[in-house]
Amino acid sequence: MNLNYPAEAEAFRAEVRSFLAQHLPDGWTGIGALDRDDAEEFTIRWRRTLSDNGLLGLSWPKEYGGGGRTKLEQVVLAEELARACVPFGRLTDTTSVKMMGNTLVRWGTEEQKQHFIPRILSGDDIFVQGYSEPNAGSDLAALSLRADRDGDEWVLNGQKIWTSRAYEGNWIFVLARTNPDVAKHHGISFLLCPLETPGVEVRPIRMLTGESDFCEVFFTDARIPIGNVVGEVDGGWKVAMSLLGHERGEEAAINPILFRAELDRLLQLARDRGRDRDPVIRDRLAWCYTKVETLRFLGYRILTQYLRSGELGPEASISKLFWSEYHQRAVDLAMQILGAAGMVREGPRPLRYFRPDEPGAPNSTNSWIDVMLLNARAGTVYAGTSQVQRTIIGEQILGLPKEPVPS
Ligand SMILES: Cc1cc2nc3c(=O)[nH]c(=O)nc-3n(C[C@H](O)[C@H](O)[C@H](O)COP(=O)(O)OP(=O)(O)OC[C@H]3O[C@@H](n4cnc5c(N)ncnc54)[C@H](O)[C@@H]3O)c2cc1C
């Protein structure tokens, strides 16, 4: 493992830094310092700035409107955006740009790439992720959304659940069963469905915090053109699995930066609340520091492999397991530092629902309560639960015997 980036990556880093210096407002301290409305407005403008300068879809081919740069440069950009405390796009860009865009670049037909990629970059098309179902989460291949062929159309019937921000999207990519007569992994197709299709209904789910970030999506005789399939008919499993890799790609680089920023905030919280001389709190803060450093080195390891092979191996599961379980203990410490004050909500609420609050956020109780109550709890569930990560690590890295499959 080489911990230094090559000279050309450092040259690109300098370019990004000068771009940020030119385009960020004076006195910028991070997106977390803005209130929700201002943050939303800033993010929309910022996304356009990134897109106009070829920085959204940086490693996608130029002929479709991408930046034509390397994966390493993409990682450098992600690091610099995280350091400058600016988002790479809107929350839906995790599913739209990172997941769907990258998947189309890899698996889409020429026509699909020509049509969708510029529209994803411009934000005209926003894709959300329709994988999970009430009876198919960890065991995703058990999904039962049906897509039956009728002439030139697929007819969709069934339900998806936990679809993040479905109310903000205009497209959903779904895994649907197109052949019920073969083994479960082999009869699945990866389909694209406009959310405005008659027969598609989005119902927001109310969460612990009282807000609604994810939804149920119902399909009742919803008809889409036969050509709205990515990859081969009945061959959607391969496409679906490669998409999950994109969820983890840049995380390896930016997680250590985000968690370090959160740890700095936690240290400040301990000082502000006069708890930084308490030996037990100090011991736990030191523990957090060692974990964030370990996360950094784990990140380098995963990145090295990703940049060499273009793929993320099972090692990415170590990082997912590590950060999500670390985070629950770190926010638990924040609540211990806050003590009784942690029962009183004050200050702005977090801008996002995943991982730490945005860098630059004030040390308000609302920030820690929401991160504690919801984000950190959900971290060991979304993108593969801790139990599933442990199985992957056991079977695919340690070579332990396979988990028995109940018949
Ligand atoms: C915040 C958030 C956002 C999400 N966004 C989306 C989205 O946009 N689109 C989407 O499609 N999905 C989304 N999901 C769903 C997510 O992918 C699933 O919740 C996840 O895959 C787990 O599935 P499940 O909830 O059905 O739990 P289950 O799979 O039913 O698991 C329940 C429990 O059983 C354990 N378990 C299951 N199988 C095994 C096994 N073989 N061995 C050991 N233990 C096992 C699990 O670890 C877990 O503890 C989101 C989830 C969250 C929390």
Tell me, using a 6 A CB cutoff, whether residue 122 lines ligand 1: no
Tell me, using a 6 A CB cutoff, whether residue 387 lines ligand 1: yes
Q: What is the pLDDT of residue 161?
A: 98
Q: What is the pLDDT of residue 176?
A: 98
Output the CA 91–ligand 1 centroid distance in Å: 20
Q: What is the pLDDT of residue 245?
A: 72
3-state SS assignment for residue 162? strand
Kindly give the confidence (pLDDT) of every residue in the chain, 407 residues in length, as a single tens digit, with 9 standing for 90 and above: 667 888 999 999 999 999 999 999 999 999 999 998 999 999 999 999 999 999 999 999 999 999 999 988 998 999 999 999 999 899 999 999 999 999 999 999 999 999 999 999 999 999 999 999 999 999 999 999 999 999 999 999 999 999 999 999 999 999 999 999 999 999 999 999 999 999 999 999 998 778 888 999 999 999 999 999 999 999 999 999 888 776 666 788 889 989 999 999 999 999 999 999 999 999 999 999 999 999 999 988 888 888 787 777 788 899 999 999 999 999 999 999 999 999 999 998 888 877 888 888 889 999 999 888 788 999 999 989 999 999 999 999 999 999 887 76
Q: How far apart, in whole angstroms, are the C-alpha atoms of residue 284 and residue 292? A: 13
Nearest CA to ligand 1 atom 7: 163
Q: DSSP labels for 228-286?
A: -EESSTTBHHHHHHHHHHHHHTTHHHHHHHHHHHHHHHHHHHHHHTT-TT-HHHHHHHH
Crossing angle (nearest 10°) for helices 71-83 and 279-309: 160
**179 contacts 169 by C-beta, under 8 angstroms:** no
Q: What is the pLDDT of residue 224?
A: 98
Give CA angle at 136 (132, 140), nearest 5°: 80
**DSSP count for the chain of H helices, then E strands:** 13, 8
DSSP H or E segment with residue 309: helix 279-309
3-state SS assignment for residue 81? helix
Phi, psi dihedral angles at 95 (to 5 degrees): -85, -35
Nearest CA to ligand 1 atom 1: 378
DSSP H or E segment with residue 19: helix 7-23
Q: What is the pLDDT of residue 339?
A: 95
Q: Which atom of ligand 1 is nearest to the CA of 138?
A: 29
Q: What is the pLDDT of residue 352?
A: 80
Q: How far apart are the first and last CA of the chain?
A: 43
3-state SS assignment for residue 16? helix
Tokens of 376: 């950190």
111 is catalytic: no
Q: Which atom of ligand 1 is nearest to the CA of 391?
A: 42
The pick from 202, 248, 381 for probing ligand 1's pocket by mutation, whose C-beta has the most ligand atoms within 8 angstroms, reads 381
Q: What is the DSSP letter of 29?
A: -
Of the candidates 79, 80, 133, 247, the residue annotated as catalytic is 247
Output the CA 374–ligand 1 centroid distance in Å: 15
Nearest CA to ligand 1 atom 29: 138
Give CA angle at 245 (194, 30), nearest 5°: 85
Phi, psi dihedral angles at 69 (to 5 degrees): -95, 180
Q: Which atom of ligand 1 is nearest to the CA of 353?
A: 1
The pick from 248, 377, 382, 390 for probing ligand 1's pocket by mutation, whose C-beta has the most ligand atoms within 8 angstroms, reads 382
